[in-house]
């Protein structure tokens, strides 16, 4: 165990129907965390959800309007029509309209995301890294991760620093965040968060290690086929990044499935320096599948 704490990485499968209402989302999150707590009935528990777990909440208030869409762009256009946001009238075109739409939806997204994960942490009596959601900060929308204490209190906010194409101007038009790396003390030791692509920047891992981080959570969502080449490339991220730091454990849950034409695959993992793993692979736990829901534990309960 990590100072007597069991780590759990949730390879959650995203389905549009789980976002049909705020209550459906709440039940989905509570169902997963309560299943983990049943598996680990006693003791300290730290659960990490994947990136973009809150993204589907942008569709929740208008589920019936968007559910038959074929693509994310079509769903976005239907929402723009609903909220009278015209890409033609925006100075920044479609990108500007997209950001206006996300800012309009952000209060609802943030409230439902926060309430569901705060309750989940409280009822499971677990530390909980809540993946991420698109949340407004001023004029910007950031890919934002909240971390909760077992009392349901928000204890850490991490925003994504390095954005992938889906998040850039031709996609969701999010803002890259400043290089801020907050940490929080947990029973497992000091915890830090790097959202997906940020975990491939080893200088950020180095900064966390220098600050005494013991557990580094890397919520991820990979909207690409999980080919042999993709899997090999992924090993240059958190797995490679922790090799210089024998006291660091990385927890990398990956979302699978998705919305409309966006579909993700990947194998979640819990990693450490190869010298710290029994088979010298660097993997303390690894998902069996690339597209099915799984929950990884370290150590195995």
- The answer, yes or no, to whether residue 1 has pLDDT greater than 60, is no
> What is the reported pLDDT for 112?
98
Q: What is the mean pLDDT of residues 69-80?
A: 96
pLDDT at 90 over 60: no
The average pLDDT across 41-64 equals: 97
Lowest-confidence range among 92-101, 209-218, 285-294?
Answer: 92-101
| The pLDDT of residue 110 is above 70 | yes
Percentage with pLDDT > 90 across the chain: 93
Question: Rounded to whole angstroms, what are the CA distances from 198 to 35, 48, 68, 138?
Answer: 29, 16, 34, 22
Q: Which two structure tokens, joined as six digits, stand for 277?
A: 């793993």
The predicted-structure confidence for 148-162, as pLDDT tens digits, reads as follows 999 999 999 999 999
Give me the residue spans of the domains in the chain.
Answer: 5-291
Q: Give the pLDDT score at 149.
A: 98
Selection from 22, 52, 18 nearest residue 32 by Cα = 18
The DSSP letter of residue 49 is E
The hierarchical CATH code for the domain 5-291 is 3.60.110.10
Cis peptide leading into residue 109 (ω within 30°) = no
Tokens 């692979």 correspond to what residue?
281
Rounded (10°) angle between helices 22-39 and 93-124: 40
Query: Of all residues in the chain, what percent carry a pLDDT higher than 70?
Result: 98
Tokens of 180: 């801020």
The confidence band for 220, taking pLDDT boundaries of 50, 70 and 90, is very high
Alpha-carbon separation of residue 168 from 135, 143, 146, 190, 194 (angstroms) = 15, 11, 21, 31, 18
């Amino acid at each position: 165990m990590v100072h007597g704490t069991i780590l759990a990485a949730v390879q959650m499968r995203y389905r549009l129907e789980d976002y049909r209402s705020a209550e459906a989302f709440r039940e989905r999150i509570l169902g997963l965390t309560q299943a983990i707590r049943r598996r680990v009935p006693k003791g300290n528990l730290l659960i990490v959800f994947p990136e973009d777990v809150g993204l589907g909440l942008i569709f929740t208030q208008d589920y019936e309007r968007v559910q038959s869409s074929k693509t994310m762009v079509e769903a976005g256009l239907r929402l723009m029509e609903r909220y009278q946001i015209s890409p033609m009238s925006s100075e920044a075109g479609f990108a500007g309209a997209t950001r206006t739409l996300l800012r309009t939806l952000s209060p609802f997204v943030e409230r439902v995301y926060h309430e569901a994960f705060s309750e989940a942490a409280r009822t499971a009596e677990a530390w909980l890294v809540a993946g991420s959601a698109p949340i407004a900060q001023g004029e910007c929308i950031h890919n934002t991760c909240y971390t909760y204490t077992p009392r349901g209190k928000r204890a850490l906010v991490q925003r994504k620093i390095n954005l992938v194409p889906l998040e850039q101007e031709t996609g969701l038009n999010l803002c890259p965040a400043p290089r801020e790396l907050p940490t929080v003390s947990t029973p497992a030791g000091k915890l830090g968060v790097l959202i997906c692509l940020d975990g491939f920047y080893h200088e950020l891992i180095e900064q966390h290690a220098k600050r005494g981080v013991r557990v580094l959570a890397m919520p991820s969502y990979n909207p690409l086929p999980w080919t042999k080449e993709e899997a090999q490339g992924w090993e240059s991220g958190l797995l490679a990044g922790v090799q210089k730091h024998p006291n660091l454990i990385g927890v990398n849950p990956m979302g699978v499935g998705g919305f409309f034409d966006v579909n993700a695959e990947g194998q979640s993992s819990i990693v450490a320096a190869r010298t710290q793993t029994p088979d010298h692979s660097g993997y303390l736990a690894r998902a069996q599948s690339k597209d099915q829901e799984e929950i990884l534990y370290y150590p195995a309960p």
